[in-house]
Structure 1
Amino acid sequence: MTEAVTDVAIDVVLAGPSAPLGTTGFRSAIAKVPLGRPVAVGPNGLEGDEQADLRHHGGPEKAVHHYAFDHYAGWRQELPGPEPALLARPGAFGENLSTIGLTENDICVGDLWRAGSALLQVSQARQPCWKLNHRFGAADMARRVQASGRTGWYYRVVEPGVIAAGDRLRLIDRPHPAWPLARLLRAFYVDRLDRAALAGIAELEALSPSWRALARRRLERGVVEDWAPRLEPPGG
């Protein structure tokens, strides 16, 4: 059995304002930049960080976005055409935290991690949206990210504090060791109507309310929700 990862370095901390997303007519804050200084983090995320669409991004349940730099090599190999320059360094996926050595296989729902002086709790995996298609110039990038299970994840902020590149990310508590994010993602996107898994997800108190509600709806209706509005840009 692989030893649990409980301590990694935070290599890069990123934030950024919202800006027009090309010629789409929409705004996005997916283009984060590395911060060369410590930054305060509170219930709604990092100081100076923005989200353009507060209906689908940001808020207390999605205050801090973490993406494993471990995945970048795989994306460089798998994406068609020339290698995207975005993948040369952290920030391609709009993440706030970048690390090596910690992936969706190692992170569990409800994990409490000390990041600098802040205390963060894993609230949900990321649900990729169509803005990734535009970001990468690939019409199916959001679907690729979802299918791969390399989605990244979000934290809620339990204790505000200060985070800087070079700080350690240390596991403090793991209330749901049976629910690594890889298992959660498989239940939502592969074995989509596994009733036992959905029932378990619906009872995970540390999981964000929106994901628990989604599991309950699938149980009640016996159908999978339409992903197209999230994965495909408005108007096709």
Structure 2
Amino acid sequence: MRLLSVNVGHARAVAYTDQPQGLTGIDKQPVDGAVRVAAPGPKGAGGSGLAGDTVCDRRHHGGDDQAVYAVAREDLDDWERELTRPLANGVFGENLTTEGVDVSGALVGERWRVGSEVVLEVSSGRIPCYTFQGHMGERRWVRRFTQKGASGAYLRVIEPGEIRAGDPVEIVHRPDHDVTVALLFRAITTERELQPRLLAAGEALHPEVRRWALEYVAKHGG
């Protein structure tokens, strides 16, 4: 298991975002050399966990619980076959493109050591938006991405440091529950009756997802 690339994006103006300034940093590109990774601060105030990476829409992206976004190269390869076009590392707006890591199958609260210094913790999955759809240029992209269910994973920074392409990825902790990123994604998109199961992930669960699950239980039981 290793990093194939570390990807960062810079703000640029596009026609397909609802940001007031019309800017997005979704177009991530692989970088050479080491990149500093650290917790960016609370959502709304903090942006990306990677130095040099821009988060324009801080209403929905960035902050400590969504500091880093990872996508498996294997999932990109699967989409390449379906879309019949090449997909470069970083095209989904991911900071980390991995090889040999079951990203969407990772458990919430699972911890990865990346390189010799950095430890990251899985917090949730990525909910697709229309900026993502515009960036991809594919019709019905939000629906198609949601139906496939391979969302990639948001991660917190537990131990900061530097990472670079080629670094090994090691799972150093797996919690004792069955709440995977894929299960979480289904629970907050297409199968909301699964939301009570998410609470088994405890404090590792993204705070917003935890709130949604508690609200569901209060309304419907579980």
Give the TM-score taking structure 1 as reference length: 0.81
- Partner secondary structure for residue 123 of structure 1: strand
Report whether the alignment pairs 1:212 with 2:220: no
Match of 2:45 in 1: none
**Letter of the structure 1 residue corresponding to residue 107 of structure 2:** C
Match of 2:60 in 1: 56
Match of 2:46 in 1: none
Q: Deviations over 1:13-41 (max 9, x none)?
A: 01121211246562111111111010110
**Letter of the structure 1 residue corresponding to residue 174 of structure 2:** R
Unpaired segments of 5 or more residues in structure 1?
1-7, 223-236
Matches of 1:185 and 1:56, distance apart in 2:
16
- Partner secondary structure for residue 150 of structure 1: coil
Matches of 2:37 and 2:198, distance apart in 1:
28
**Letter of the structure 2 residue corresponding to residue 34 of structure 1:** P
Aligned residues: 208
The verdict on how the C-alpha distance between 1:22 and 1:201 changes in structure 2, with shifts beyond 3 A counting, is: same
Report whether the alignment pairs 1:202 with 2:218: no
Aligned-residue sequence identity (percent) comes to 35
| Alignment counterpart, residue 10 of structure 2, candidates 17, 40, 43 | 17
The verdict on how the C-alpha distance between 1:191 and 1:23 changes in structure 2, with shifts beyond 3 A counting, is: closer
Give the RMSD, CA atoms, in angstroms. Answer: 2.0
**Letter of the structure 2 residue corresponding to residue 210 of structure 1:** E
The verdict on how the C-alpha distance between 1:178 and 1:23 changes in structure 2, with shifts beyond 3 A counting, is: closer
Unpaired segments of 5 or more residues in structure 2?
41-48
Whether contact under 8 Å (1:109, 1:181) holds in the other structure is: yes
Whether contact under 8 Å (1:43, 1:156) holds in the other structure is: yes
Give the TM-score taking structure 2 as reference length: 0.86
Q: Give the superposition deviation at 1:207.
A: 1.0
- Partner secondary structure for residue 186 of structure 1: helix
Matches of 1:23 and 1:186, distance apart in 2:
26
Q: Give the superposition deviation at 1:101.
A: 1.9
Q: Give the superposition deviation at 1:199.
A: 2.5
Report whether the alignment pairs 1:136 with 2:129: no
Q: Deviations over 1:80-128 (max 9, x none)?
A: xxx445x1x2111000001122234531100111112111100111111
| Alignment counterpart, residue 73 of structure 2, candidates 63, 69, 92 | 69
Q: Give the superposition deviation at 1:189.
A: 3.0
Runs of 4+ in 1 over 3 A off after TM superposition: 22-25
**Letter of the structure 2 residue corresponding to residue 111 of structure 1:** E
